[in-house]
């Protein structure tokens, strides 16, 4: 049911994107700066308000254009959602359905009874929604159903009422924030982030805006210049929520950059799970691990009933509260928190003392702690409550001997804190990356590749369930192919879209074929590095890949089987008892 | 055919007399003598025996056991010659299924009929099918430890033994569900009670009993348990188990496949019970903080199961609940995953206002608690000098979102404090609220907890949270009042008079008094109070699995070339060499790097070859090397399971991997 909204979004962002490009190429400032101000001011009234004026001053003209486009798109989205929310109950609550359908007019009743995605999208294409020109009613329209709802509520059951009202309120005041993101080349980009968007959504938005590759290493990076600490925003974190912890006059920044540490544990699990506690030999063996073992290691650590936190222990330096002296202590990481060995005790579980638990703290890298805090080394990590913004005795500083240890601890703590979510995030990132390379490939067929990326708004982009969201990603891709077909019927000599999309809907795993395909012909730069689910034999068979995708997949199955049996029976030849019998 | 005679009575064919005892291995058993030849088939012999006995009875389960060779004669088409049976063979004609007493993971005793003739693997599978536990390959049987002969002093209370010997399962398909339980349990009162015992968690044990039970004092003690595993490829009869013996049923392999609370109530409960006893008897160590979480979960689980809220699978409301869940799911999807917002309660904003005493610890002040008028609305706490000044500006206003809430309660001292650690950009500010009585405390506490999670008192969980807090305070009154606590035994121990000492391992009993324990458990409880019974059990199991020492089975071995005994830890993915005295990990080898392993049964030595030509060899000291061998093979087998195949088991593969020479 979200399809309709997304479709429209899709089209609009495409349209607006094109407009954006046009204006940019003309070099004309089509929009006077003050115009978006009143509009957005109405939107942002919690957190966004104070930041908006500030950031508006810093806006460049280009940014304004982009902002304008975003705003328009958002208004459209809001309208779309109004319609949607009206439609939804109609399909769920049969008793009250006719009533609502009549009260909301033709739109709902036309849709009622044919809830398939296909028909909806057709309907959207045929009938543009009533408010015609988004430019005209820039000041956001007061949501029409608001006055209606109390009257109707009486007729509905209590529960429905509550849910309805909540939904409406939410939509009515989707606060948005103008966020200035610092790019890797020291430029900045401002973008609108609404209350519901997760770091993942913002990243997607940025990918689209910057035309960079969709590498999984891209991340939003939070920097506190005052405290000299920094960290990744995890993909599932709500961006507005994170930023709302900052103070009014903050120097904190959000960066958009590539950090290979972000998902290092999934790329090189052996460095975290097979490390032999500082012994040098561990390093050598760990580098030899092959993709198959990596995958089984990941499966073992993240796919069981509970995830496995890497076994980390060792001496670290702890900054003493309020002093600049550091004390060396033996720390251990457990799923339940960080522990240390008290003086004169052993490191058995029963003697350990709890240092900190993760529920209320975030993990940060410390930068240049040697200078600022007289730390023994510069490899420090910091644990603090997200709301603390100034120096405080409640911030814990720990210092490792080397960078490798530091990375292990930070990653270990992230795994202990976020658990399975981290893995889901990674899988989603890989899916995005794979999808992106597919688009680049498709782009060679039609005109503009980047414009067809998914719209910035992703109403349910935050599903933590990896498989579900991956399949939606693919459906999206599929849909975007369809919409472009409708718009400008390209002379598609071969269009892999429909058959492939149909197939993908059934399969749950991120399927390798599109990735492999694009790597042949498109020469895309962004192959997901060793993603699970991407079988290792892909590369070997590159050469003879010319057949249709479906065939490719069918051919893939047997090898998949073989792969499984190989992996699960790790090279064990059955015991030769006869030999021993003879000996004995 | 056999037994042709001449007129003088001499046998002229090559027939001879075969004596068969009827019954289980009892020397004074009734016996029948048959005239047979070497070509007689076992089937024919069976028929003759039945004729000889001449008693009307269902003999279908009976078969012949050959005592000297310790084997069953189950191939009815084989001849006596093929088996190599001569006249001196001592044969017993007895039932293949015999009653045994099973000690379940929840420590209850259950009498049922187990197959004495099939390999243990199949026998366990049949038992698990009867008990409706999926994935029987993860379980096995242990011999019961030998009892110390001190029975005169300790008069053990008569315990109830559940009986399932009369229940017969139809072969083939999985038993159908009837009235929320597998159909074969719904036959009678007794079997229903038995299913309740299987699928519901047991109340916490008496702390005194807990202290008396043997606990492993060292790593060496932990190896004892694992020396008692029975052999999966041989039948019970071959392992000298007699009818009526006690055996332990336990999860042996710590690799739990596809744990699903919906379909697995018995499996989940028994696993939970095993985990709980593991922790209570200190088979696995955990930290103090972890123990409090385990205790809180146990308390919560016990409360739910006592209150009967258990009925999740059977409850008539299930459909509705599912619908509700689905709807709220849908709602979440539609709304995006935004945090539950503050304005949820536009219609009516419940608020708390009252005079409370407030204390703010500051450096260099000796001020104590001071009375203030406190208003708690949404997630914000404001306080004023007095009620009259309330419309004006408060002395201070605190948003409790994201704060830490710590109970500081002493019921007997009538002290009901809430300690709040409220984060602000400058750090944490500490504030204490002191309430007058339990009621007031429970309401404010519940409000604080919800506010800390960003929810308001309009949240539907508010009322239940208040109730949970009150219930917990009652617990403290009972536990704290009774001192060391001589609690009534067993099922009498209702939630009201629960002793918190029954929830923690004995070493914490010694470390903390009950009244010290209660607030800590209460604190941990607030994070789990909203879980349903199966969710709580699953959480408990997950926390158990997250312990660093989880799932390691210890055996004492001596490595080749070493002069001292060491411990070999076997986990689901690796072997660990552990120092016996210190408990330090010396070396870890992963199964994924293993090329092959060999067992030399004569010198009891296991040799393992890993990648890169790493060879390890050790002889087994505490357990037989076949137990080590079976563990390794078993884990390899378990790793071959796939979701797609469902519950089908490749038994041949299992026996190949774990069997040893008889299996081939």
Please report residues of B whose CB lies closer than 8 A to that of A463: 333, 337
Q: Do A305 and B588 touch (CB under 8 A)?
A: no
Percent of chain B clearing pLDDT 90 (strictly above): 27
Q: For residue A480, which of A71, A1, A13, A55 has the smallest C-alpha distance?
A: A13
Same domain, A234 and A335: no
Domains contained in chain B, number:
4
Please report residues of B whose CB lies closer than 8 A to that of A384: none
Shortest CB distance from A336 goes to which of B287, B507, B545? B287
Same domain, A307 and A418: yes
Q: Do B333 and A166 touch (CB under 8 A)?
A: no
Same domain, B77 and B166: no
Same domain, A180 and A253: yes
Q: What is the pLDDT of residue A68?
A: 64
**Using an 8 Å Cβ cutoff, are B416 and B436 in contact?**
yes
Q: Residue B338 domain-assigned?
A: no
Please report residues of B whose CB lies closer than 8 A to that of A464: 337
Q: Chain B: give the shortest CA distance to residue A53, in Å.
A: 22
Q: Residue B292 domain-assigned?
A: no
Q: Chain B: give the shortest CA distance to residue A210, in Å.
A: 25
Q: Does B259 touch chain A (CB under 8 A)?
A: yes
Same domain, A294 and A426: yes
Pick the residue of B216, B427, B452, B511 with the most A CBs within 10 A to test the interface with A by mutation: B427
Measure Cα distances from A139 to A18, A42, A72, A328, B464 in Å: 23, 8, 10, 60, 44
Q: Chain A: give the shortest CA distance to residue B482, in Å.
A: 27
Same domain, B135 and B279: yes
Q: Residue A483 domain-assigned?
A: no
The DSSP H or E segment spanning B11 is: none
Same domain, B270 and B373: no
Q: Residue B638 domain-assigned?
A: yes
Residue A547 has pLDDT above 50, yes or no: no
Q: What is the mean pLDDT of residues B381-405?
A: 85
Q: Do B402 and A385 touch (CB under 8 A)?
A: yes
- Higher-pLDDT residue of B657 and B555 is B555
3-state secondary structure of B450: helix
Please report residues of B whose CB lies closer than 8 A to that of A572: 594-597, 636
Helix axes B265-280, B288-306, angle to 10 degrees: 140
Same domain, A179 and A236: yes
Q: For residue A458, which of A242, A146, A239 has the smallest C-alpha distance?
A: A239
Residue B588 has pLDDT above 50, yes or no: yes
Q: What is the pLDDT of residue A440?
A: 62
Q: How does pLDDT run across A487-546, given as a tens digit for each residue? A: 444 444 444 433 343 343 333 333 333 333 333 333 333 333 433 333 333 333 333 433
Closest chain A residue to the Cα of B459, Cα to Cα = A162
Residue A189 has pLDDT above 80, yes or no: yes
Q: How does pLDDT run across B193-235, given as a tens digit for each residue? A: 888 899 889 988 888 888 888 888 888 888 988 999 999 989 9
Residue B17 has pLDDT above 70, yes or no: yes
Range of the domain at A186: 46-56+174-258
Q: What is the pLDDT of residue B539?
A: 93
| Distance, CA of B185 to CA of B167 (rounded, Å) | 8
Q: Do B402 and A463 touch (CB under 8 A)?
A: no
Residue A456 has pLDDT above 70, yes or no: no
DSSP-assigned states of every residue in A89-121: HHHH-TTTHHHHHHHH-HHHHHHTT---HHHHH
pLDDT band per the 50, 70, 90 thresholds, residue A2: very low
| Distance, CA of A533 to CA of B402 (rounded, Å) | 38
Shortest CB distance from B286 goes to which of A349, A357, A464? A349
- Higher-pLDDT residue of A388 and A45 is A388
Q: What is the pLDDT of residue A96?
A: 40
Q: Residue B245 domain-assigned?
A: yes
CB pairs under 8 A between A and B: 177
Residue A97 has pLDDT above 80, yes or no: no
Phi, psi of B387 (to 5 degrees): -60, -35
Given A406, A432, A458, which residue is the final one in a domain?
Answer: A432
Return the beta strands (E) in B551-650 as ranges: 553-559, 566-570, 574-578, 585-590, 594-600, 605-610, 614-620
Given B237, B252, B284, which residue is the final one in a domain?
Answer: B284
Residue B272 has pLDDT above 70, yes or no: yes
Same domain, B119 and B200: yes
| Distance, CA of A244 to CA of B196 (rounded, Å) | 50
- The structure tokens listed for B333 are 């999807």
Same domain, A238 and A343: no
Range of the domain at B52: 16-95
A325: CATH:
2.30.29.30
Same domain, B78 and B103: no
Phi, psi of B433 (to 5 degrees): -110, 130
Same domain, B67 and B136: no
Given B457, B477, B503, which residue is the final one in a domain?
Answer: B457
Sign of the alpha-carbon dihedral angle for B90, B96, B101, B107:
positive
Q: How does pLDDT run across B344-353, given as a tens digit for each residue? A: 444 567 788 8
Q: What is the pLDDT of residue B175?
A: 61
Same domain, A409 and A268: yes
| Distance, CA of B579 to CA of B225 (rounded, Å) | 19
Given B284, B302, B321, which residue is the final one in a domain?
Answer: B284
Q: For residue A457, which of A6, A147, A95 has the smallest C-alpha distance?
A: A6
Residue A442 has pLDDT above 50, yes or no: yes
Please report residues of B whose CB lies closer than 8 A to that of A392: 426-428
Q: Chain A: give the shortest CA distance to residue B423, in Å.
A: 6
**Alpha-helical segments (H) within A288-346:** 291-302
Same domain, B121 and B234: yes
Least confident of A456-470, B143-157, B619-633: A456-470
Domains contained in chain A, number:
2
Please report residues of A whose CB lies closer than 8 A to that of B626: none
- The structure tokens listed for A221 are 């990076």
| Distance, CA of B115 to CA of B487 (rounded, Å) | 40
Q: What is the pLDDT of residue A163?
A: 52
Q: How does pLDDT run across B358-367, given as a tens digit for each residue? A: 888 776 666 7
Least confident of A409-418, A433-442, B442-451: A433-442
Which residue bears the tokens 């658990």? A419
| Distance, CA of B626 to CA of B232 (rounded, Å) | 10
- The structure tokens listed for A239 are 């961006």
Residue A101 has pLDDT above 70, yes or no: no
| Distance, CA of B110 to CA of B197 (rounded, Å) | 10
Name beta bridge partners: B103.
B109, B248
Q: What is the pLDDT of residue A43?
A: 38
Q: Do B596 and A393 touch (CB under 8 A)?
A: no
B632: CATH:
2.30.29.30
Q: Do B338 and A336 touch (CB under 8 A)?
A: no
Residue A94 has pLDDT above 70, yes or no: no
Q: Do A387 and B335 touch (CB under 8 A)?
A: no
Q: What is the mean pLDDT of residues B437-462?
A: 86
Same domain, B614 and B596: yes
Given A380, A411, A432, which residue is the final one in a domain?
Answer: A432
Q: What is the mean pLDDT of residues B563-575?
A: 91
Same domain, A208 and A345: no
Residue A566 has pLDDT above 60, yes or no: no
Q: What is the pLDDT of residue A70?
A: 62
Q: Residue A561 domain-assigned?
A: no
Q: Chain B: give the shortest CA distance to residue A118, in Å.
A: 19
Please report residues of A whose CB lies closer than 8 A to that of B548: 311, 334, 349
Same domain, A349 and A217: no
Q: Chain B: give the shortest CA distance to residue A62, in Å.
A: 30
pTM of the full structure: 0.71
Pick the residue of A270, A571, A576, A584 with the most B CBs within 10 A to test the interface with B by mutation: A571
Percent of chain A clearing pLDDT 90 (strictly above): 16
Q: Does B344 touch chain A (CB under 8 A)?
A: yes
Q: Residue A455 domain-assigned?
A: no
Same domain, A339 and A425: yes
Q: Chain A: give the shortest CA distance to residue B41, in Å.
A: 32
Q: Do B427 and A166 touch (CB under 8 A)?
A: no
Q: Does B579 touch chain A (CB under 8 A)?
A: no
On the CB side of A87, how many CA atoms lie within 13 Å of its CA?
23
Residue B298 has pLDDT above 90, yes or no: yes
Same domain, B125 and B199: yes
Q: Which residues contact B555 (CB under 8 A, 6 or more apart)?
A: B223, B226, B227, B567, B568, B570, B620, B621, B622, B623, B627, B628
Q: Do B546 and A336 touch (CB under 8 A)?
A: yes
Pick the residue of A305, A338, A428, A459 with the most B CBs within 10 A to test the interface with B by mutation: A305
Q: Chain A: give the shortest CA distance to residue B426, in Å.
A: 5
**Using an 8 Å Cβ cutoff, are B629 and B599 in contact?**
yes
Shortest CB distance from A360 goes to which of B334, B346, B404? B404
Least confident of A448-452, B84-88, B189-193, B404-408: A448-452
Q: Do B426 and A390 touch (CB under 8 A)?
A: yes
Residue B500 has pLDDT above 50, yes or no: yes
Same domain, B359 and B417: yes
Strand order in the sheet with B139-143: B139-143, B246-251, B97-103, B109-115, B161-163
Measure Cα distances from B506 to A16, A254, B480, B509 in Å: 69, 50, 17, 5
pLDDT band per the 50, 70, 90 thresholds, residue A477: very low
Q: Residue B547 domain-assigned?
A: no
- The structure tokens listed for A268 are 């090189």
Q: What is the pLDDT of residue B516?
A: 80
Residue B192 has pLDDT above 80, yes or no: yes
pLDDT band per the 50, 70, 90 thresholds, residue A415: very high
Residue B284 has pLDDT above 60, yes or no: yes
**Using an 8 Å Cβ cutoff, are B598 and A580 in contact?**
yes
**Using an 8 Å Cβ cutoff, are A389 and B425 in contact?**
yes
Q: What is the mean pLDDT of residues B426-431?
A: 84
- Higher-pLDDT residue of A173 and B571 is B571
Q: Do B287 and A352 touch (CB under 8 A)?
A: yes
Closest chain A residue to the Cα of B260, Cα to Cα = A305
Same domain, B140 and B59: no
Given A432, A457, A487, which residue is the final one in a domain?
Answer: A432
Q: Do A196 and B335 touch (CB under 8 A)?
A: yes
Closest chain A residue to the Cα of B334, Cα to Cα = A460
Q: For residue A579, which of B597, B618, B617 has the smallest C-alpha distance?
A: B597
Residue B56 has pLDDT above 80, yes or no: yes
**Using an 8 Å Cβ cutoff, are A470 and A427 in contact?**
yes
Q: Do A464 and B337 touch (CB under 8 A)?
A: yes
Shortest CB distance from A388 goes to which of B425, B546, B548? B425
Q: What is the pLDDT of residue A67?
A: 59
A188: CATH:
3.10.20.90
Same domain, A233 and A359: no
Please report residues of B whose CB lies closer than 8 A to that of A88: 334
- Higher-pLDDT residue of B662 and B290 is B290
Least confident of A38-42, B104-108, B427-431: A38-42
Q: What is the mean pLDDT of residues B299-327?
A: 60
**Alpha-helical segments (H) within A191-315:** 199-210, 239-243, 264-267, 270-273, 280-287, 291-302
3-state secondary structure of B187: coil
Q: For residue B255, which of B554, B656, B573, B597 has the smallest C-alpha distance?
A: B573
Please report residues of A whose CB lies closer than 8 A to that of B424: 387-388
Q: Residue A146 domain-assigned?
A: no
B residues 13-72 closer than 8 Å to A (CB):
none
Q: Do B640 and A349 touch (CB under 8 A)?
A: no
B residues 273-332 closer than 8 Å to A (CB):
285-290, 293, 327, 330-331
- Cα A324 to chain centroid distance, Å, stands at 38
Shortest CB distance from A572 goes to which of B337, B542, B594? B594
Q: Residue A358 domain-assigned?
A: yes
Same domain, A346 and A271: yes
Same domain, B91 and B103: no
Residue A325 has pLDDT above 80, yes or no: yes
Q: Residue A39 domain-assigned?
A: no
B88: CATH:
3.10.20.90
């Amino acid at each position: 049911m979200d399809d309709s909204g997304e479709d429209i979004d899709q089209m609009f962002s495409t349209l607006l994107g094109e407009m954006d490009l046009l204006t940019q190429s003309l070099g004309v400032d089509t929009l006077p700066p003050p115009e978006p101000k009143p509009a957005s001011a109405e939107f942002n009234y919690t957190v966004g308000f104070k930041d908006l004026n500030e950031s508006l001053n810093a806006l460049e003209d280009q940014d304004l254009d982009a902002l304008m486009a975003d705003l328009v798109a958002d208004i459209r989205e809001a309208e779309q959602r109004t319609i949607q929310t009206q439609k939804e109950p109609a399909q769920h609550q049969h008793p009250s359905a006719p009533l609502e359908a009549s009260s909301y007019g033709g739109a709902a009743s036309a849709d009622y009874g044919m809830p398939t995605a296909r028909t909806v999208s057709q309907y959207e294409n045929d009938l543009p929604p009533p408010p015609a020109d988004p430019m005209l009613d820039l000041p956001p329209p007061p949501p029409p159903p608001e006055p209606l709802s109390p009257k109707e509520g009486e007729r509905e059951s209590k529960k429905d009422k509550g849910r309805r009202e909540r939904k409406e309120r939410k939509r009515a005041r989707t606060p948005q924030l103008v966020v200035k993101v610092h790019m890797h080349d020291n430029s900045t980009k401002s973008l609108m982030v609404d209350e519901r968007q997760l770091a993942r959504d913002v990243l997607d938005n940025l990918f689209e805006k910057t035309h960079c590759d969709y590498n999984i290493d891209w991340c939003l990076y939070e920097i506190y210049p005052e405290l000299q600490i920094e960290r990744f925003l995890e993909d599932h974190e709500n961006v507005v929520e994170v930023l709302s912890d900052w103070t009014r006059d903050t120097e904190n920044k959000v960066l958009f950059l590539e950090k290979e540490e972000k998902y290092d544990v999934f790329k090189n699990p052996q460095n975290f799970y097979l490390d032999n506690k500082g012994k040098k030999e561990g390093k050598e063996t760990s580098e030899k691990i092959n993709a198959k073992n990596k995958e089984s290691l990941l499966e073992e650590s993240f796919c069981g009933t509970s995830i496995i936190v890497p076994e980390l222990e060792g001496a670290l330096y702890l900054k003493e509260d309020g002093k600049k002296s550091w004390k060396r202590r033996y720390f251990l990481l457990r799923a339940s928190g960080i522990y240390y060995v008290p003086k004169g005790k052993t490191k058995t579980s029963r003697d350990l003392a709890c240092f900190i638990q993760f529920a209320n703290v975030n993990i940060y890298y410390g930068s240049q702690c040697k200078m600022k805090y007289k730390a023994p080394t510069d490899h420090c990590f910091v644990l603090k409550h997200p709301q603390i913004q100034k120096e405080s005795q409640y911030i814990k500083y720990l210092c490792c001997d080397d960078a490798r240890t530091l990375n292990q601890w930070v990653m270990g703590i992230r795994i202990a804190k976020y658990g399975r979510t981290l893995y889901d995030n990674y899988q989603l990132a890989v899916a995005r990356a794979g999808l992106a390379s597919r688009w680049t490939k498709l782009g060679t067929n039609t005109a503009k590749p980047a414009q067809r990326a998914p719209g910035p708004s992703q109403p349910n982009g935050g599903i933590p369930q990896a498989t579900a969201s991956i399949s939606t990603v693919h459906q999206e891709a599929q849909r975007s192919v369809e919409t472009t077909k409708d718009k400008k019927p390209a002379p598609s000599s071969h269009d892999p879209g429909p058959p492939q999309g149909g197939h993908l809907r059934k399969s749950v795993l991120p399927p390798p074929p599109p990735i492999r395909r694009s790597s042949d012909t498109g020469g895309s730069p962004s192959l997901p590095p060793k993603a699970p689910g991407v079988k290792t034999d892909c590369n070997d068979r590159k050469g003879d890949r010319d057949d249709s995708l479906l065939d490719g997949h069918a051919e893939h199955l047997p090898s998949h089987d073989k792969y499984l049996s190989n992996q699960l029976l790790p090279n064990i030849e059955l015991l030769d008892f006869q030999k021993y019998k003879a000996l004995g | 055919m056999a037994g042709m005679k001449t007129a003088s009575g001499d046998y002229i064919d090559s027939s001879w007399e075969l004596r068969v005892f009827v019954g289980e291995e009892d020397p004074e058993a009734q016996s029948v003598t048959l005239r047979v030849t070497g070509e007689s088939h076992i089937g024919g012999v069976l028929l003759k025996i039945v004729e000889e006995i001449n008693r009307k009875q269902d003999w279908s389960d009976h078969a012949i056991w050959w005592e000297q060779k310790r084997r069953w004669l189950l191939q009815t088409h084989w001849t006596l010659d093929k088996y190599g049976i001569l006249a001196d063979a001592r044969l017993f004609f007895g039932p293949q299924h015999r009653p045994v007493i099973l000690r379940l993971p929840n420590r209850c005793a259950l009498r049922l009929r187990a197959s004495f003739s099939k390999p243990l693997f199949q026998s366990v599978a049949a038992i698990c099918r009867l008990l409706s536990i999926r994935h029987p390959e993860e379980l096995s049987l242990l011999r019961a430890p030998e009892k110390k002969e001190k029975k005169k002093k300790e008069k053990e209370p008569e315990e109830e033994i559940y009986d399932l010997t009369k229940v017969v399962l139809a072969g083939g398909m999985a038993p159908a569900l009837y009235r929320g339980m597998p159909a074969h349990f719904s036959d009678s009162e007794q079997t229903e009670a038995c299913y309740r015992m299987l699928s519901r968690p047991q109340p916490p044990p008496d702390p005194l009993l807990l202290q008396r039970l043997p606990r492993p004092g060292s790593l060496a003690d932990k190896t004892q348990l694992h020396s008692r595993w029975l052999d999966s490829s041989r039948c019970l009869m071959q392992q000298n188990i007699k009818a009526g013996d006690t055996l332990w049923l336990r999860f042996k392999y710590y690799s739990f496949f596809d744990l699903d609370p919906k379909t697995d109530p018995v499996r989940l409960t028994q696993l939970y019970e095993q985990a709980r006893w593991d922790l209570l008897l200190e088979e696995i160590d955990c930290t103090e903080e972890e123990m409090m979480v385990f205790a809180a979960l146990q308390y919560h689980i016990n409360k739910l199961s006592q209150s009967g809220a258990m009925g999740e699978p059977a409850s008539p409301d299930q459909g509705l609940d599912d619908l509700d869940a689905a709807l709220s799911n849908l709602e979440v999807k539609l709304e995006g995953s935004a945090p539950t917002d503050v304005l949820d309660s536009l219609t009516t904003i419940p608020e708390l206002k009252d005079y409370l005493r407030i204390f703010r610890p500051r450096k260099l002040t000796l001020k104590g608690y001071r009375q203030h008028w406190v208003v708690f609305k949404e997630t914000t706490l404001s306080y004023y000098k007095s009620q009259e000044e309330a419309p004006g500006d408060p002395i201070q206003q605190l948003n409790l979102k994201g704060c830490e809430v710590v109970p500081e309660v002493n019921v007997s001292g009538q002290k009901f404090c809430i300690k709040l650690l409220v984060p602000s950009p400058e750090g944490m500010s500490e504030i204490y609220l002191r309430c007058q009585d339990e009621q007031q405390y429970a309401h404010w506490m519940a409000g604080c907890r919800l506010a800390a999670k960003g929810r308001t008192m309009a949240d539907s969980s508010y009322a239940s949270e208040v109730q949970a807090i009150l219930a917990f305070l009652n617990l403290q009154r009972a536990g704290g009042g009774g001192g060391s606590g001589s609690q009534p035994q067993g099922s009498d121990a209702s939630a009201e008079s629960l002793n918190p000492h029954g929830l923690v391992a004995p070493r914490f009993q010694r470390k903390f008094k009950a009244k010290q324990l209660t607030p800590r458990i209460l604190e941990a409880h607030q994070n789990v109070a909203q879980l349903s019974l199966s969710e709580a059990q699953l959480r408990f199991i997950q926390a158990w699995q997250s312990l660093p020492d989880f799932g390691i089975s210890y055996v004492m071995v001596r490595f080749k070339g070493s002069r001292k005994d060491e411990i070999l830890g076997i986990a689901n993915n690796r072997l660990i060499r552990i120092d016996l005295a210190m408990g330090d990990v010396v070396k870890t080898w992963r199964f994924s790097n293993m090329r092959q392993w060999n067992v030399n049964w004569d010198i009891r030595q296991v040799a393992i070859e890993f990648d890169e030509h790493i060879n390890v060899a050790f002889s087994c000291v505490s357990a037989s090397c076949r137990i080590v061998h079976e563990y390794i093979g078993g884990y390899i087998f378990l790793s071959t399971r796939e979701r797609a195949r469902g519950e089908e088991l490749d038994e041949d593969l299992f026996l190949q991997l774990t069997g040893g020479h008889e299996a081939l």
